[in-house]
Amino acid sequence: MIDSHCHLDVDAFDGDREAMIARAKAAGVHGMLVPAIRPRTWDALLALAARHAGAGVRCAIGIHPQIVPDLEADELAGDVVQRIVTAAAAAIAIGECGLDGGTGAHELQELILRAHVRAARETGKPLVIHVLRAHDAAPRILREERIHEVGGVLHSYSGGAELVPIYRDLGLAFSFAGPITYPNARRPVEAARVIPRELLLAETDAPDQAPAAHRGGRSEPAYLAAVIAGLAAARDEDPTEVAELTAANARRLFASW
């Protein structure tokens, strides 16, 4: 199994990070992609990925849209595109980046998202994209920036089934996290059913969005099997086959593992 999105570098794991990574490996998770949140964390994240490369930890370099209003001046200094390109030399993807409708500084969010797509095109690396309450604007911006030239994944996909063809035609894959396992889940289940097999990924979004059995607590990559089981149930497919499929798709998209 490959966890295509987990924030192993955040404070929530400071007390047991090594043990958490060991639990993931014991649970059959052989790859974990850790997307960056903000520039001040990039160096530590790159060091974490290098230190745990043998356990399948990889990283992406970017700026999370929910952090945009809190960015310090030094984090936005200079040419943002080139800063991302330079920092991403040892990364396998660009991100986490995107748009968040519940977060302020929408114009700056858009500028930073455009910078990420340009950095991805310059490096040839795929994007890890966060879109929440912003599906009215995201497709247009991504299309204008020619995201189809590099592709990427919409992490913890929050759009409906009706938007799947739009994002598919932009060259994007779709990843699902803990909410696919929730008893009353409707929107993610409907979307998961229509995702083309070759565009399906799975994630934990650790430490957030824990699957149903751990809902309200901290998520971690060891719970990925529960997410995959929920995804398999939504699609009426075998969990083992979905685990193999999502891992193969992650390897192909990110050219890693």
Residue 129, classified by CB atoms within 10 Å of its CB into exposed (0-12), middle (13-18) or buried (19+), is buried
What does residue 120 show for φ and ψ, rounded to 5 degrees?
Answer: -65, -40
Residue 252 tokens, joined? 């192909």
Which helix (H) or strand (E) segment holds residue 90: the answer is none
- The verdict on pTM exceeding 0.95 is yes
Report the CATH number at residue 204. Answer: 3.20.20.140
Residue 201, pLDDT score: 99
Residue 72, pLDDT score: 97
Residue 87 tokens, joined? 């920092």
Residue 225, pLDDT score: 98
- Residue ranges in the chain modelled with pLDDT below 70: none
* Of residues 33, 21, 24, 167, the one with CA closest to residue 95: 33
* Of residues 240, 171, 243, 256, the one with CA closest to residue 203: 243
pLDDT by residue (tens digit) across 62-74?
A: 999 999 999 999 9
Residue 222, pLDDT score: 98
State the residue range of the domain holding 78. 2-254
> Distance between CA atoms of 152 and 199, rounded to whole angstroms?
10
> Distance between CA atoms of 238 and 220, rounded to whole angstroms?
23
Residue 6, pLDDT score: 98
Amino acid at 237: E
- Measured at the CA of 170, the angle between CA 169 and CA 171, to 5 degrees, comes to 90
Number of domains within the chain? 1
Beta-carbon contacts of 244 under 8 Å, excluding residues fewer than 6 positions away, are none
- Please identify which residue in the block is written with the tokens 């990843």: 175
Residue 4, pLDDT score: 98
> Distance between CA atoms of 152 and 72, rounded to whole angstroms?
27
CA 28 vs CA 98, 100, 136, 195, 244: distances in Å: 30, 32, 38, 24, 11
Q: What is the CA radius of gyration of the chain?
A: 17
* Of residues 136, 244, 232, the one with CA closest to residue 189: 232
Residue 210, pLDDT score: 98
